[in-house]
Amino acid sequence: GQQVMQIPQYQHVQEGEDFTTYCNSSTTLSNIQWYKQRPGGHPVFLIQLVKSGEVKKQKRLTFQFGEAKKNSSLHITATQTTDVGTYFCAGRGTGANNLFFGTGTRLTVIP
Amino acid sequence: NAGVTQTPKFQVLKTGQSMTLQCAQDMNHNSMYWYRQDPGMGLRLIYYSASEGTTDKGEVPNGYNVSRLNKREFSLRLESAAPSQTSVYFCASSDGGYLGDTQYFGPGTRLTVL
């Protein structure tokens, strides 16, 4: 079955350092979404990528979709304490009905 | 707009008990979903409803049933709860077709089965 793996599982950074989480699928994806979940909260949509090689930016966040549409990454520049939370990727396979979530990367930012 | 609401927020059950988790959305979305979230497992789809009157199994449907009561409401029922069903349950909704749509999540129900 389809799997979406995400690494690392945990990441601790000093405030101001950069952070990257990676998402890899066993199959080609039609699109990929990224969500953020604050501690004790619920997932909140950040962005969707659809095109091969697509790059999108939201302020300090940069999202990339691989050329083969099987991997994606989220990079945060100069982390802030407000970036704390778990970041999930969610991919949909071509022709698939389900959205498969990655296992998430929990980011801790040390002030 | 309240978005997606879920009740209850917390629940403790004994093995074998039954309960229904309620979900409602006020965004006029066609599609609704139930997920469970376990540590280290991400979110896994239990059931979804692409439109009013239809429901389909997701990745982990065993031990659950759902009802799409109307366009607004989508309930999840545990007929005979088991400790393995201890989890955080999230309801979500999306507009239009379910392929590639942004999902809006409710606040979650934290369920413990003893």
Cβ of A45 and B43 within 8 Å? no
pLDDT of amino acid B67: 97
pLDDT of amino acid A95: 65
Structure tokens at B81: 């709860």
Q: What distance in Å separates the CA atoms of residue B36 and residue A34, rounded to the nearest whole number?
A: 18
Sole residue written with tokens 């309930």: B75
- Does the pLDDT at position B99 exceed 90? no
Residue of A nearest to B107 (CA): A42
pLDDT of amino acid A107: 97
% pLDDT > 90, chain A: 81
Cβ of A45 and B103 within 8 Å? yes
pLDDT tens, position by position, B13-63:
999 999 999 999 999 998 899 999 998 778 999 999 988 889 999 889 999
- Does the pLDDT at position B1 exceed 80? no
* A4-18, B2-16, B43-57, B85-99: segment of lowest average pLDDT: B85-99
Residue A2 to residues A70, B2, B94, B111: CA-CA distances in angstroms? 11, 34, 22, 27
Taking the CA of residue A23 and the nearest CA in chain B, the distance in Å comes to 12
Chain A, 51 to 80: residues with Cβ < 8 Å from chain B are: none
- Does the pLDDT at position A10 exceed 90? yes
CB pairs under 8 A between A and B: 55
**H or E element: which one contains A13?**
strand A10-14
Mean pLDDT, residues A98-106 taken together = 87
**Residue B84, phi then psi, degrees to nearest 5:** -65, -15
- Does the pLDDT at position A45 exceed 60? yes
Residue of A nearest to B102 (CA): A45
pLDDT of amino acid B62: 96
Contacts of B38 (CB under 8 A, 6+ apart): B44, B87, B88
Mean predicted lDDT score pLDDT of chain A:
93
Residue B21 falls in which region: left (phi positive, over 0), alpha (psi -120 to 50) or beta: beta
Q: Does A97 touch chain B (CB under 8 A)?
A: yes
Cβ of A101 and B42 within 8 Å? yes
Q: Does A25 touch chain B (CB under 8 A)?
A: no
Cβ of A42 and B105 within 8 Å? yes
Cβ of B59 and A100 within 8 Å? yes
- Does the pLDDT at position A97 exceed 70? no
Instruction: Find out whether the peptide bond into B8 is cis, omega within 30 degrees of 0.
Output: yes
Taking the CA of residue B18 and the nearest CA in chain A, the distance in Å comes to 25
Cβ of A98 and B59 within 8 Å? yes
% pLDDT > 90, chain B: 78
pLDDT of amino acid A14: 98
Beta-bridge partners for A7: A22
**H or E element: which one contains B99?**
none
- Does the pLDDT at position A109 exceed 90? yes
Mutate to test the interface with A, among B47, B60, B99 (most CBs of A within 10 A): B99
